Amino acid sequence: MAATHSEYRGYLRNTVDMEAGQHRFHSVQSSEPTYRPLLFGTLAVMGLLQVASSVAILLHLTGYLQEVDLTTAPHRPIESEPVLDALRDPKKPKRCKPSRESLPSAHLPIKPHQEYSKKSEKKAITIDWEELHVYRQKMGYQRGKLLVEESGFYYVYAKTCFRYYTLTPEDSSSQAGTPAVDVSNTQLIQYVYHESIKQNSKAVLLMKAGSTMRWNSMSYNMYCAQQGRGVRLEEGDALFVNVSNAWMLDPEGEGTYFGAIKLGN
């Protein structure tokens, strides 16, 4: 009987608790509709503020643009570069800067009609260059040597061409009794020397190029050596070119020449 009474009290308590829970649940649901109008109102106010600010900015910019009248602005001359002016008006002459003073330079072709002895074939001989009707600017020349008249950094270059061909019957008859030269193992070397005024005009080898050729004495043969480099030269220095087997030099200035040009200080 006691168990029945306790079960009845528990049933009453559970029923009360359930009713209380349902009451709280209904109270939460009943409060939800009160938040929705507030949320919608806040969003509407924010939207209106954003639209109002956009309209205000647009009106401000429009008013600013209307205040600026380009037609009433004072006309001022526009200064431009001479190059731009020349591009706009092709008839207008361009303003050119005065040309720089020409730099020291020289180009010397080989002196024609030179005769070198075949007996000195193993000895290097200084080439004699053409000194008349050649290009020389602020550089001197004397006995095969190019003289420096202005100190600076120069580019020096040289080219020598050698050739050998079979003598014609007329040449052979004129040179009767002259021993034939063996060209089967010929050494053709080009040397470029620099005489420094600071070293008491001592000749220093600046460049060297060449080859040992195995030529055929019964056909036409030709070989060219070309080289160049930059070097610091002082006023009073000299440059010259030596070659072995000078009697084989090509006498044409297009194949054998020597020169220098100043690149800077």
Q: What is the pLDDT of residue 234?
A: 95
Token readout for 207 is: 């460049």
Distance CA 162, CA 221 (A): 8
Q: What is the pLDDT of residue 232?
A: 96
Q: What is the pLDDT of residue 70?
A: 46
Pairing of strands 145-148, 238-243: antiparallel
Q: What is the pLDDT of residue 150?
A: 95
pLDDT digits (tens, 9 = 90+) for 116-143: 877 666 689 999 999 888 899 999 999 9
Considering the domain boundaries, does residue 82 fall inside one?
A: no
| Alpha helices, H only, 111-262 | 169-174
Token readout for 7 is: 């079960």
Q: Residues 58, 115: one domain?
A: no
Q: What is the pLDDT of residue 201?
A: 84
Q: What is the pLDDT of residue 134?
A: 86
Q: What is the pLDDT of residue 28?
A: 46
Entry pTM: 0.58
In contact, 161 and 222? CB cutoff 8 Å: yes
Full residue range of the structural domain in which residue 54 is found: 2-72
Question: What does the buried/exposed string (b/e) look like for 187-220 if buried means 16 or more CB atoms within 10 Å of the residue's CB?
Answer: ebbbbbbbbbeeeeeeeeebbebbeebebeeeee
Q: What is the pLDDT of residue 74?
A: 53
pLDDT digits (tens, 9 = 90+) for 209-235: 999 888 877 778 899 999 999 999 999
* Domains identified in the chain, total number: 2
In contact, 204 and 234? CB cutoff 8 Å: no
Question: What dihedral do alpha carbons 39, 44, 46, 50 form, nearest 10°?
Answer: 160
Considering the domain boundaries, does residue 131 fall inside one?
A: yes
DSSP-derived letter for residue 123 is S
Average pLDDT of adjacent 10-residue blocks, the chain of 265 residues: 53 51 49 65 79 70 52 50 52 50 91 79 86 89 94 96 73 52 84 92 93 83 94 96 93 93 93
Q: Residues 203, 257: one domain?
A: yes
Distance CA 263, CA 2 (A): 125
Distance CA 192, CA 158 (A): 8
Considering the domain boundaries, does residue 60 fall inside one?
A: yes
Residues sharing a CB contact under 8 Å with residue 205, sequence separation 6 or more, in sequence order: 191, 192, 193, 194
Q: Residues 53, 164: one domain?
A: no
Q: Residues 255, 145: one domain?
A: yes
Q: Which amino acid is at 57?
A: I
Residues sharing a CB contact under 8 Å with residue 166, sequence separation 6 or more, in sequence order: 217, 218, 219, 220
CA 229, 234, 237, 238 torsion: positive or negative?
Answer: positive
The alpha carbon of 179 is separated from its chain's Cα centroid by a whole number of angstroms, namely: 56
In contact, 239 and 192? CB cutoff 8 Å: yes
Structural domain ending residue among the three candidates 21, 52, 72: 72
Considering the domain boundaries, does residue 221 fall inside one?
A: yes
Considering the domain boundaries, does residue 100 fall inside one?
A: no
DSSP-derived 3-state class of residue 208: strand
Distance CA 207, CA 226 (A): 10
DSSP-derived 3-state class of residue 42: helix
Q: Residues 59, 168: one domain?
A: no
Q: What is the pLDDT of residue 182?
A: 75
Q: Residues 66, 109: one domain?
A: no
Closest C-alpha to 257, from 220, 228, 233: 228
Q: Give the domain CATH number at 152.
A: 2.60.120.40
In contact, 137 and 146? CB cutoff 8 Å: no
Considering the domain boundaries, does residue 85 fall inside one?
A: no
Q: What is the pLDDT of residue 79?
A: 47
